[in-house]
A and B are shown apart, each in its own frame.
Chain A
């Protein structure tokens, strides 16, 4: 072993999905497997998500959805971030549900329907304050009306109305929920009343039952990382899924060199920020992070015997005292999502089923 290894607890992930799906039922669970399942591997984790009780998958963008279709996934797939070159005809042919935020997108999809030969299933998005995509409230009636007309022409099926929360504060999310309900009412007034409404992701799915509506789009919580800053994944009864390990390549003068670095996604932080790894039963301070390696202090007085070939746990579920991805996130001034999503594509992968 000359490089890092990711150990992926697929069984734990499946259990997390089961826990979350049960929590929000009768609302349905859509599982986010975007960004290669947050760095965990889309196809494997999509399968486990469905086994755990999700009934649909959020893929972010059309090409990611098509890749899942190509390997045999038949469940509803949802893509909502589109570029100038996004191939909507291919999306429609692959039966991928499309998020629609603007008239431009709706028109492009309607044009693609004429190529694809079958109607597109669309989820109309209202911006409830996050100010990323989603139609602004002033543009919403026109978008809804155009979608209704396109539906009457047989070009689209409006299957859902949706939005995304900012998780800024309970009050802000409550205001966003009110805006969402207002947008739903506007749509109803225009004759558009699709069977599905969805708003919540992990955060509101867990803590704001009134936001669960018809479906919750769970993401990070299913990977065992908390969406909150006042409790970690384990505190929510979830199993952190990813373990990142790296062998000792060299040992000299109380410094061990580990085979993992920034090129593997290790955050560039040191013991001055709190950073440590678990090596031979002891948390060792991180001295530096280079592209392919990191150095840790192995002071003899700290206990444990370290020899080249020993394997350090950079982060994991925390069972044996190793840091969690969430601890690394705190040291690096970020969130656990970034720590796992950036984990190396060149690491060896071991999947625990």
Chain B
């Protein structure tokens, strides 16, 4: 059923490349491969030489088995993990290729004058006449509310600030003089020109990058990058 687009694109080539560089045989895939979708990640990991995967629960263990991997189930990592590939596999450490790109869409654009309050509490007021874009992702999707006023996003190759409070289902971007288009794709983090990294989001939201991706919600559709 088509609705508002909320997509985590999973770059399986980047995953394979990161794993080839890591030369590990054991992958940390807890929390549904840290939100990357174990059903997508599993087969690629196996082809890249991964033999065992650490998973959180029986559901994910079944996904791992289906991909031809040996699951190790448990919220506590066993003491003998050895060369466990984690953040680097997902491209969440410097130098790695980001595997996940999180995108939303512009669902409204409006022109406002200077001094316009934005979102709850009017914590941001436009310093000058500008265009505001509404994006259909919010904290229910795992975009941390404390990123309001700190983060930026990329729309059509432009880095633009996320302003005002993030709401449950939506946030606002200040686009300046040049408006963006209705339906335009908004990249929060991942790969692409001027797209922030999950690591930057980690800094804006005082958590680590794996917690950023693992915290993404169920309305976000995970799909393999074409």
Binding site for B on A (CB under 8 A): 2-3, 34-36, 38-39, 60-64, 66-67, 81-87, 90, 101-102, 104, 127, 129-133, 136, 166-168, 172, 249-250, 257, 259, 261-263, 265, 268, 289, 291-293, 332-335, 337-338, 341-342, 345-346
Residue B49 CB within 8 A of the other chain:
no
Q: Does B110 contact A (CB under 8 A)?
A: yes
Q: B136: which A residues are within 8 A, CB to CB?
A: 81, 83
In the bound complex, do residue B57 and residue A168 qualify as a contact, i.e. CB atoms below 8 Å apart? no
Tell me the B residues contacting A by CB distance below 8 Å: 1-5, 30-32, 34-35, 56-57, 59, 74-76, 105, 107-108, 110-112, 116-122, 132, 134, 136, 138-140, 142, 144-146, 164, 167-170, 172, 182-183, 206-208, 210-211, 214-215, 217-219
Are A34 and B168 touching (Cβ within 8 A)? yes
> Which of B5, B31, B75 is the one whose CB lies under 8 Å from A83?
B5
Contact between chains at B75 and A259 (CB < 8 Å) = yes
Interface pair B34/A136, CB less than 8 Å apart: no
Say yes or no: A3 contacts B168, CB within 8 Å.
no
B contact residues around A338 at 8 Å (CB): 139, 144-145, 168
Main SS class of interface, A: loop
Can you name the residue of chain B whose Cβ is closest to the Cβ of A34?
B169
* With contact pairs A166-B117, A346-B56 given, residues A83 and B107 touching in the complex (Cβ less than 8 Å): yes
Minimum CB–CB distance from B170 to chain A (whole Å) comes to: 6
Give the docked Cα–Cα distance between A41 and B3 (Å).
19
Chain A nearest Cβ from B40, distance in angstroms? 17
B4 touches A341 (CB 8 A): no
Partner pick for A101 among B108, B112, B167, B206, CB 8 A cutoff: B108
Given A131-B117, A249-B76, A342-B215, A61–B108 Cβ distance below 8 Å?
A: no
A265 and B207 CA atoms in complex are apart in Å by: 12
| Given contacts A63-B3, A341-B140, A291 and B34 within 8 Å (CB-CB) | yes
Task: Please tell me which one of the listed residues A63, A167, A249, A333 contacts residue B146 in the complex, with CB atoms under 8 A apart.
Answer: A333
Q: How far is the CB of B20 from chain A (nearest CB, A)?
A: 24
The residue that A167 contacts in the complex, of B120, B132, B210, with Cβ under 8 A, is B120
With contacts A36-B218, A263-B215 known, is A86 near B4, CB below 8 A?
yes
Is the CB–CB distance between B118 and A334 below 8 Å? no
Q: Is B75 a contact of A293 with CB atoms below 8 Å?
A: yes
Q: Are B4 and A83 in contact (CB under 8 A)?
A: yes
Q: Are A293 and B183 in contact (CB under 8 A)?
A: no
Whether B30 pairs with A268 at a CB distance below 8 angstroms is: no
Nearest A residue to B118, CB-CB: A131
7 nearest CB pairs, A to B? A263-B31, A84-B183, A35-B140, A83-B4, A292-B75, A85-B2, A268-B207
* Contact call B218/A345, Cβ cutoff below 8 A: yes
A35 to B167 alpha-carbon distance, docked (Å) = 11
Name, among B1, B75, B138, B167, the residue most crowded by chain A CB atoms within 10 Å (CB to CB): B75
Question: Apart from A81-B107, A337-B168, what are 4 other A-B pairs with CB-CB below 8 Å?
Answer: A168-B122, A263-B30, A291-B31, A338-B139
Q: Report A228 CB to chain B, min CB distance, Å.
A: 12
Q: Are A132 and B146 in contact (CB under 8 A)?
A: no
Instruction: Provide the bound-state CA to CA distance between A47 and B172, in Å.
Output: 33
Question: Among B1, B112, B118, which residue has the most Cβ atoms of chain A within 10 A?
Answer: B1
In the docked arrangement, what's the CA distance between A72 and B217, Å? 26
Inside 8 A of B142's CB, which chain A residues have their CB?
A: 342
Asked if A87 meets B218 with Cβ closer than 8 Å, knowing A129-B117, A132-B170, A166-B117, the reply is no
Cβ–Cβ contact B112 & A81, under 8 A: no
Cβ of A262: which chain B residues have Cβ within 8 Å of it? 31, 207, 211, 214-215
Q: Which residues of B contact A38 (CB under 8 A)?
A: 140, 168
B168 touches A341 (CB 8 A): yes
A87 to B, closest residue via Cβ: B2
Residues of B within 8 A of A82 (CB): 3-4, 107
| Residues of chain B with a CB closer than 8 A to A345's CB | 217-218
B57 touching A3 by the CB < 8 A rule? yes
Using known A-B contacts A81-B169, A90-B1, determine if residue A131 contacts B116 with beta carbons closer than 8 Å. Answer: yes
Whether A166 and B139, one on each chain, are in contact in the complex, defined by CB atoms closer than 8 angstroms, is no
Q: List 25 A-B contacts (CB under 8 A).
A: A2-B74, A36-B140, A38-B168, A39-B140, A81-B169, A81-B170, A83-B5, A84-B182, A85-B2, A86-B3, A87-B1, A131-B112, A132-B134, A132-B167, A168-B117, A249-B75, A249-B76, A257-B76, A262-B207, A291-B30, A291-B214, A292-B56, A334-B145, A337-B139, A342-B142
Q: Which of the listed residues A66, A84, A104, A136 has the most CB atoms from chain B within 10 Å of its own CB? A: A84
CA distance A56 to B63 in the complex (A): 39
Chain A contacts for B111, CB-based, 8 A: 136
In the assembled complex, which residues on chain A have CB atoms less than 8 Å from the CB atom of B211?
A: 262-263, 268, 289, 291
Q: Most B CB atoms within 10 A — which of A63, A86, A130, A345? A: A130
With A127-B110, A292-B30: A268-B206 Cβ-Cβ less than 8 Å: yes
B59 touches A346 (CB 8 A): yes
